[in-house]
Amino acid sequence: MSTGVILAAALVGGTGIIIGLLLGLAGKIFAVEVDPKETAVREVLPGNNCGACGYPGCDGLAAAVAKGEAPANSCPVGGSAVAAKIGAIMGQEVAETRRMVAFVHCAGDCEKSKIQYNYTGMEDCAMMAYVPNGGSKICNNGCLGYGNCVRACPFDAIHVINGVARVDKEKCKSCKKCVAACPQHLISLVPYDANVHTACSCTDKGKVVMVECDAGCISCKKCEKNCPAGAIKLENNVPRIDYDLCTDCGKCREACPRKSIV
């Protein structure tokens, strides 16, 4: 081996060592101290980085909790179990929160919802704004059934069944991804332990709804009149349930002639 090759190799190796030492020194000089509580909080968070907490991923939430900018129960995915662990880390009392899950406010499946034409284009709910009448269903307020919510869910908790999206509440982590993905605004979070829900979001008047869908609310107000707790009110032709007042007695469901309450 020639002397030139040896010198070149030594020069390259020496340069690499010097650069490595300088980088190591710079890392120590410019290192940012991380609050040990932030690290501990981050370790107990589920790591889905879904953003449902309102922060940019689990790292952002951990930093906010450690700084006292976010409560210990900010992670809807982790629920009360994770909240309790974070509370222990932060030395805080954590109030137990009611578990929430997504619910699709539509019962207009392939049998109940009336169809005006056969659609064969791109299967994307957001694209229906650009096709005649907003889709093949006569009802402009119902589930379009093309699965934008399904594709948005990171937990495989929602699927289109017989033309309507349905949520598996055991899998749902209330991350709100499906809520944001639905262009019809049909999905909201409801209490996991609630047994009565409004399965219609159509704001049309009763006579119109009867032509559009066999499961649509016709605004008869029987649900409102039969609720002993005053927990259900008709707003813009749609029954709204106040889950803080609802006792799950089921009388609104029994009174509904259209089975729009499930």
Q: Which domains does the chain have, with CATH numbers?
A: 36-90 (1.10.15.40), 100-255 (3.30.70.20)
Give one DSSP letter per residue of 136-148, joined into a string: SBS-SSS---S-H
Give one DSSP letter per residue of 193-223, joined into a string: T----B-----S-HHHHHHHBTTS-----HH
Please give the backbone phi and psi of residue 42, each rounded to the nearest 5 degrees, phi first: -60, -35
CA distance 39 to 143: 42
Closest CA to 198 of 157, 135, 246, 153: 246
pLDDT in tens, 37-70: 788 888 888 887 887 888 888 888 888 888 888 8
Q: What is the DSSP letter of 99?
A: P
pLDDT of the residue at 5 = 67
pLDDT of the residue at 190 = 95
Residues of the chain with pLDDT under 70: 1-2, 4-5, 8-10, 25-34
Q: Give the pTM.
A: 0.77
Give the H or E element holding residue 4.
helix 3-29
pLDDT in tens, 142-156: 999 999 999 999 999
pLDDT of the residue at 50 = 80
CA distance 125 to 78: 30
CA angle 70–74–78, rounded 5-degree value: 145
pLDDT of the residue at 11 = 73
